[in-house]
Structures are given as C-alpha cells and as structure tokens.
C-alpha cells in the first residue's frame, strides 16, 4: 500500500463531491419560510495537510522512527520505545501499513480517517478502520498523541494482545478405529512436607504402590525454598492403576493427590518407540517447526507424535484482545479460526501389541518383536527393548543367520529341487577356501531338503547357495522377498541389504545369513508373511499409506516352503515355538556377529494371518532364546 499523493488526493476529493470554493456563481431560490444551515467545508489544502500529518505519524510509528513521531506529535509519550515494543510484541506484528482515506470537520475538529493493515504472521492480516484528530498550528499540522494511535477502541492504559489457543490434540488410533493414544485421567501424587509423620513409611509406600523411587521423592521435597505447606509433585499414575491402590496411598500422612490428565496409550509399555512421546518444545524443535509454535508449547518429541506433529496438533485459533490496565480482557477485536487436529489412524492391533509387550516383558537382553498382517503387510505389533533404548524393531540391522535359509531354500525350490530331494549334510565342508560347519559339528549324512531346513544344516545350505544358485541367483531369490525394493514409513527405518556376493565363499556365507547380509526385525516379519501369502508385500504403518506393489512368489515353491517351516516347529530346531492346538510355521536362527560375544537369536514365523519375528541380541541359539518368546506371543493371542 502506498500513501495517496497530494494531486491524486485532490482529484479524489473532487470526484467524491467534496465542497470547494468555486469561481462560478449559482443562484438558488428558496421558499421564504425555509432556513438553511451552512456546514463549513474543509479547504483542500487543509485536507491534504491534515492527512499528510496523520500519514506521517502512522508511517513513523510503524517504522519505529520515534523522532519522526515526535515531529508530528510533540506530546507523544516519553517511553515510545517501550510502548512500541509492547504493541509489536503483544500482537506479533511483522509489518504494518497505513493509508489515510479522508478528512472532514467533525464538531469543530479536523478528523482524518485511515485504514490499517497489520501483518500478524501466522494469525494473518488484520485490517481495521480508525481516525485521528489533526490540529493546525503555526508550525504546521500536528496530531495530538492518544492511545487511539494504536487502535481506535483503546482507552487510556489499555493494551493489545494476540491470544493463541491450540485445538485439543488428536488421538492416535489403531486398526478398526480403536483409540490408542489420547488424554486420559491420571492422579498426580504429591507430598506436603509439613504433614509427613514418618518419612521412611512414606517413601516405602510410594515405592511399593506408586513405583516412585525414594531418591526422586527426596530430591523434589529437598529443593531450595520448598515450604512445609506446599504440594510437591513427585509422580503420577493412570487413574485405573491408582484406584487399585487408592486406600493404601490415602492412608499415608503427608501424601496428597490431584486429578489431572496425561497423553497415554492403553497400557504401559505399548509401542513406545513407534507411538512416541510429547513434552515441552525444545529449542531445536522450535527452530525446526517455526510458526505458530512458541516456547512452552507441548509437541511431539519422538515417534509418530513427532513425525505427524502438525496433523495431530492442528492449527491454533487467534484473538486480538483489548486488555485493560488490570490485565482483564474487556473486548475481542478480531478473531482467526484455527484448524482442528486430525486423528492419525495406524495399522496397529491393540491385542497383538499387548501380546508382543507381554512376550518381551521378562527378556533381559535387548530384543524386538514385530508382527505384520499376511494379507496386507500392515504392521499389527512392533515392540523393542530396552524401553529407554532405540527402536530396534525398525532401526536395528543384524545378520539374519539361519533364518535366511528360508530365502536360500526358496531359491533352490525354484531351481527344481523339492522338499523331499535328498541333500548331503556333513559335519563340515570347505567352499572357496573357507570351512563351514554345523552346530555341534553334527554329521547327518543324507537328508531331505525339508529335513535340512528343520535341523538348520549349515553345510547343506552353504553348498546349495554356492553350487546351485551362485551369487546372482542367491541375490535374485532375496529380491523376491523385498530386499532392494525400498519402502518408507512414517517413522525412521533402516534399509535391509542383500548384496550379490562375489566368489563361492561369500556366496556360501550369504546362503546361511552371514557375510554382508543385513536385515531389520521389521523386514524379517515381512519375509515370513510372504511365505504364508505367496507374495511379498511392503509393510504399512498408517491406514492412509498407499500399499506398494507386491512381489509374487512361485506358488509351488511358496507352498512347499511353508510345509518345511512347519516341520521346523514340529520336529526341528524351533520346537520351543510349538503351541498346542495352533499351527505355527517358523525358522530359527543364530547369527554370528562377534568373535567373543554370543550369537543373536532369531525366530521368524507365521500363524493365523500374522507373519512375525523375534530377535534377542546376544541371546545365543534362536531355538532356545527367541522361539519361546514367539510361543508366548502366539499363546497370548490364541488365549
């Protein structure tokens, strides 16, 4: 917007029919009984002078040019800087433009009208009409300073404030629309120091019934300046958990409880690494997110809460408020509607996730469990341990060990072998100058291909990889199970890799899941699901995600491989995963990764429409460390 020039202004006023002195004479005959009152007109030069003075004042104010303000308004407040900072800061003004629109005599005063347009950043533009009185002095036109320079509605002592209100944060949902994360009722537990009779008994009760460590309590009530009658928060509990121990806690002198809410999943833990957490915005996130976020806002810090922050948070509404000298809002001058937060629908199953958490509850080593839907690839459960560690299920890269024999077996089956084809399983074999041995140096002689998978014969599958498939053939078999396909999720994931091995020794190693092969637990679950479905599907985490193209498997090979994986559980290395009355298919694995540490323990399998995987870092043998966890997962769901 620009200020209207003097010549243009005069033309505009003439066009609008304003009264000016004329060189011509017009005679009007009136009835003798009619009396007229002549309204004094403002001369053109006076209109221009008054409007120029008001325009100069407003432009100087917008620019923070206080000497220029005082040049037009000598009686302006002494602390113009402080007033300007309060005005611009209170509204978040990024820019202000003013345009005078006219001048007239009103009750003997020269009143200049104007239109203001303030850029309030995320709150948009605020346009309003106002007017100021201009006075002609010996030194020229001046504008007496009043609070209406800031806004026409302001009285003395009033200020302007831009209030911002976030909508209620939306829920994270599971499949079938079940609410997973939302605001839930909790009890904040506090200590009133002056009411404590027995500190030792209080600490013991908090530890036993609320899980609050004594060190935490002592730290909080021991802070400087804590007063005897203060309510000092030391922890909180979901209301459902609190009700079970309410009588025990309320009986302890010095304890007090307050009703509150917290954003929580249905259980603790529950897909913590994936769903994520919320909390006060950090400096880094404030820089990254920008407007309309401010210090003190609660935002997503990790997981889906972080990745889908703007969807879950929505957009705030704004009010321009007139606030009196006592801090009371006396008028709302302008409103900007916000945007409601949108729930995020995940593919997670509450039942499957609870079963996964329960199955990992007593695992002492770092571990992960993932389950995907066989028909769609949708992730139904994903859990990692420890809870204060990283998301091993999606970001952990490990050698797959003998679970990769599923890939090798598929390649051999498509090359013409059958489940009943006889293959040698010696105690050791040398391939490409490298020796490969079986667990326990077992020599099983001639066995069927199905039996070799059931007992996880290293020498058999190393030989088949090198002699039947070759490096490229093995890599091609792996490509059928999604290696190299690429897929993305709403959370960070690592990329599995199965590079084509060079040379017989590397090919043999890859054939038993060693060498350069790296895989995530998430991808392992899709491999197991592919055998059940007869095609590999990229995983999905959000219902809004567009499914990727499936990779069909050879129907005969997939069916035979499924029967071979059933034999692993009924009469092979995976018997610890066998669940009475349930048809579990699977494959164990013990992946070497260190010359001094135990192997990573694996189990991949499928059951009742779910493909799943379990990994236990440095857990040892997959049959003894991972398979029982898989069984616990199935049992919890089969219930």
CB 196 within 8 A of CB 254: yes
Residues 197 and 279 in one domain: yes
pLDDT > 90? residue 10:
no
Q: Look up residue 303 and give its DSSP letter.
A: H
Q: Are residue 263 and residue 376 in the same domain, yes or no? A: no
Structure tokens at 477: 């078999």
| Predicted local confidence at residue 495, as pLDDT | 96
Instruction: List the structure tokens of 116.
Output: 């203001």
pLDDT digits (tens, 9 = 90+) for 122-173: 999 999 999 999 999 999 999 999 999 999 999 989 999 999 999 999 999 9
Kindly report the CATH number assigned to the domain that includes residue 210: 3.30.1390.30
pLDDT number for residue 37: 47
Among 288, 282, 268, 293, CA closest to 358 = 268
Please report the DSSP string for 597-637 in residue order.
Answer: SPPEEEEEEEETTEEEEEEETT---HHHHTHHHHHHHHHHH
Beta-sheet pairing, 317-323 with 329-336: antiparallel
Kindly tell me if the per-residue pLDDT of 28 is higher than 60. Answer: no
Query: pLDDT-based confidence at 20, cuts 50/70/90?
Result: very low
Q: Given a cut of 50, is residue 11 above it in pLDDT? A: no
CATH code at 519?
Answer: 3.40.710.10
Alpha-carbon distance values, 92 to 68, 121, 126, 320, 509 (Å): 23, 7, 12, 10, 64
Give 264-284 pLDDT, tens digit per residue. 999 999 999 999 999 999 999
Check whether residue 354 and residue 332 sit in a common domain: no
Banded model confidence at residue 18, pLDDT cuts 50, 70, 90:
very low
| Domain extent at residue 243 | 172-336
Residue 115 shares a structural domain with residue 197 = no
Residue 89 belongs to a domain: yes
Domain end (from 117, 152, 187): 152
Could you tell me if 395 and 269 lie in one domain?
no
β-partners of residue 182 are: 264
Closest CA to 302 of 277, 322, 330: 277
Do 234 and 314 fall within a single domain?
Answer: yes
pLDDT at 15: 35
- Domain co-membership, 532 together with 429: yes
| Separation of alpha carbons 592 and 584, rounded Å | 26
Q: Domain check: are 232 and 304 in the same one?
A: yes
Same domain, 145 and 186: no
State the average pLDDT for the chain. Answer: 93
Do residue 633 and residue 563 come from a single domain? yes
78/638: higher pLDDT: 638
Residue with tokens 């509605």: 153
Q: Are residues 430 and 577 in the same domain?
A: yes
Whether the Cβ atoms of residue 591 and residue 399 lie closer than 8 Å to each other: yes
16: pLDDT strictly greater than 60: no
**For 200-205, what is the mean pLDDT?**
97
pLDDT band at 40 (very low <50, low <70, confident <90, very high): low
Report the pLDDT value the prediction gives residue 41, as an integer from 0 to 100.
77
In a domain, 25, yes or no: no
Q: Decide if pLDDT at 13 tops 80.
A: no
- In the predicted structure, residue 376 carries a pLDDT above the cut 50: yes
For residue range 572-589, list pLDDT tens digits in order: 999 999 999 999 999 999
10 Å CB burial of residue 45 (0-12, 13-18, 19+) is exposed
Strand 535-536 with 551-552, pairing? antiparallel
Q: What's the structural domain count of the chain?
A: 3
* Residue 510 in tokens: 């890859």
The pTM of the full predicted model, rounded to 2 decimals, is: 0.85
Tokens representing 631 are 């069984």
What is the rounded end-to-end Cα distance, in angstroms, of the chain? 72
CA gap 528, 606 in Å, rounded: 6
User: 336 with 317: CB under 8 angstroms?
Assistant: yes
Q: What is the pLDDT of residues 64-106, one digit of tens each?
A: 999 999 999 999 988 999 999 999 999 999 999 999 999 999 9
Give pLDDT tens digits for 324-364. 999 999 999 999 999 999 999 999 999 999 999 999 999 99
């Amino acid at each position: 917007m620009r200020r209207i020039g003097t010549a243009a202004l005069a033309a505009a006023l003439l066009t609008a029919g304003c009264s000016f002195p004329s060189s011509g004479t017009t005679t009007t005959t009136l009835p003798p009984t009619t009396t007229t009152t002549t309204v004094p007109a403002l001369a053109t030069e006076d209109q221009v002078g008054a409007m120029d003075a008001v325009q100069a004042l407003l432009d100087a104010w917008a620019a923070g040019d206080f000497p220029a303000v005082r040049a037009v308004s000598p009686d302006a407040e002494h602390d113009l800087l402080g007033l300007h900072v309060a005005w611009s800061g209170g509204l978040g003004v990024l820019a202000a433009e003013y345009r005078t629109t006219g001048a007239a005599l009103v009750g003997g005063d020269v009143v200049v009208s104007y239109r203001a347009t303030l850029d309030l950043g995320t709150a948009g533009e605020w346009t309003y009409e106002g007017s100021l009185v201009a006075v002609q002095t010996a030194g020229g036109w001046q504008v007496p300073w009043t609070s209406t320079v800031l806004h026409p509605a302001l009285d003395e002592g009033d200020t302007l404030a831009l209030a911002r209100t976030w909508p209620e944060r939306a829920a994270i949902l599971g499949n079938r629309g079940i609410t997973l994360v939302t605001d839930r009722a909790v009890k904040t537990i506090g200590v009133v120091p002056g009411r404590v009779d027995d500190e030792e008994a209080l600490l013991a009760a908090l530890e036993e019934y609320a899980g609050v460590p004594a060190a935490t309590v002592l730290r909080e009530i021991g802070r400087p300046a804590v007063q005897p009658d203060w309510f000092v928060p030391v922890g909180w509990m979901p209301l459902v958990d609190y009700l079970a121990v309410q009588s025990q806690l309320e009986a302890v002198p010095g304890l007090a409880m307050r009703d509150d809410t917290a954003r929580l999943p249905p259980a603790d833990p529950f897909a913590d690494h994936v769903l994520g957490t919320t909390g006060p915005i950090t400096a880094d996130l404030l820089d990254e997110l920008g407007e309309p976020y401010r210090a003190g806002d609660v935002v997503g810090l990790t997981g889906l809460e972080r990745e889908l922050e703007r969807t879950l948070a929505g957009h705030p509404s704004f009010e321009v408020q007139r606030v009196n000298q006592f801090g009371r809002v006396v008028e709302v001058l302008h409103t900007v509607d916000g945007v409601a937060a949108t729930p995020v629908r995940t593919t997670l199953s509450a039942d499957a996730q609870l079963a996964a958490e329960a199955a990992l509850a007593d695992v002492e080593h770092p571990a992960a469990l993932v389950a995907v839907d066989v028909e769609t690839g949708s992730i139904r459960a994903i859990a990692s341990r420890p809870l204060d560690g990283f998301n091993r299920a999606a970001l952990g890269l490990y050698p797959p060990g003998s679970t990769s024999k599923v890939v090798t077996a598929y390649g051999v089956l498509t090359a013409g072998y059958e489940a009943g084809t006889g293959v040698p399983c010696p105690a050791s074999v040398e391939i490409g100058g490298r020796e490969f041995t079986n667990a326990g140096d077992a020599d099983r002689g001639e066995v069927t291909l199905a039996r070799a998978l059931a007992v996880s014969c290293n020498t058999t599958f190393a030989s088949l990889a090198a002699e039947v498939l070759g490096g490229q053939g093995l890599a091609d078999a792996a490509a059928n199970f999604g290696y190299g396909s690429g897929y993305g999720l709403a959370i960070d994931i690592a990329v599995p890799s199965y590079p084509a091995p060079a040379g017989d020794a590397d090919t043999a190693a890859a054939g038993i899941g060693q060498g350069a092969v790296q895989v995530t637990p998430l991808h392992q679950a899709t491999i197991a699901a592919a055998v059940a479905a007869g095609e590999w599907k990229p995983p999905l985490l959000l219902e809004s995600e567009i499914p990727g193209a499936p990779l069909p498997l050879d129907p005969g090979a997939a069916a035979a491989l499924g029967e071979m994986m059933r034999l692993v559980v009924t009469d092979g290395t995976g018997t610890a995963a066998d669940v009475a009355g349930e048809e579990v298919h699977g494959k164990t694995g013990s992946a070497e990764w260190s010359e001094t540490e135990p192997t990573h323990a694996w189990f991949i399998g499928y059951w009742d429409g779910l493909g799943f995987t379990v990994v236990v870092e440095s857990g040892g043998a997959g049959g003894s460390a991972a398979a029982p966890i898989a069984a616990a997962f199935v049992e919890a769901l089969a219930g």
